[in-house]
Amino acid sequence: MLKIENGMCGMCAHFGEHHGGDELVQIRISHEAPEELVEECGNPEMENLHLKVTAVSSCDGYEPIREAG
Ligand code: SF4
């Protein structure tokens, strides 16, 4: 497993934005993601390019996920 810190794609609101799912929720809680995990970036500036990123990638378009509750 890879350790995910704030500022990395795994903690970004745009990481796998359009399909979500339990695996992503789990990553945000545990701050860990499988090495092989790749998700599409949903940032509007990159969306048309279908950029795929790993949980430990990052860019200046990072947006922190909104905490539930
Ligand atoms: S590439 Fe940038 S905008 Fe897309 S998920 Fe990663 S940090 Fe977020």
Tens-place pLDDT, residues 36-53? 999 999 999 988 999 999
In a domain, 19, yes or no: yes
C-beta of residue 35 within 8 angstroms of C-beta of residue 17 = no
Assigned domain for 40 exists: yes
For 13, the token pair is 């609101």
Of residues 19 and 61, which shows the higher confidence score? 61
Decide if pLDDT at 68 tops 60.
Answer: no
What pLDDT, on the 0 to 100 scale, is given for residue 67? 66
The verdict on the CB of residue 9 being under 6 Å from ligand 1 is: yes
Burial 26-45 (b: 16+ CB within 10 A, else e): ebbeebebeeebebbbbbee
Q: Is the CB of 54 under 6 A from ligand 1?
A: no
Structural domain contains residue 37: yes
User: Which residue segment(s) compose the domain that 12 sits in?
Assistant: 2-54
Specify the number of domains making up the chain.
1
**Which pLDDT does position 34 carry in this prediction?**
96
C-beta of 15 in contact with ligand 1 (< 6 A) = yes
Of 57, 60, 66, the residue with max ligand 1 atoms within 8 A of its CB, to mutate for a pocket test, comes to 57
Task: Please indicate, yes or no, if residue 69 is contained in any of the structural domains.
Answer: no
pTM more than 0.85: yes
- Distance (Å) from CA 9 to ligand 1 centroid: 5
The answer to whether position 33 is within a domain reads: yes
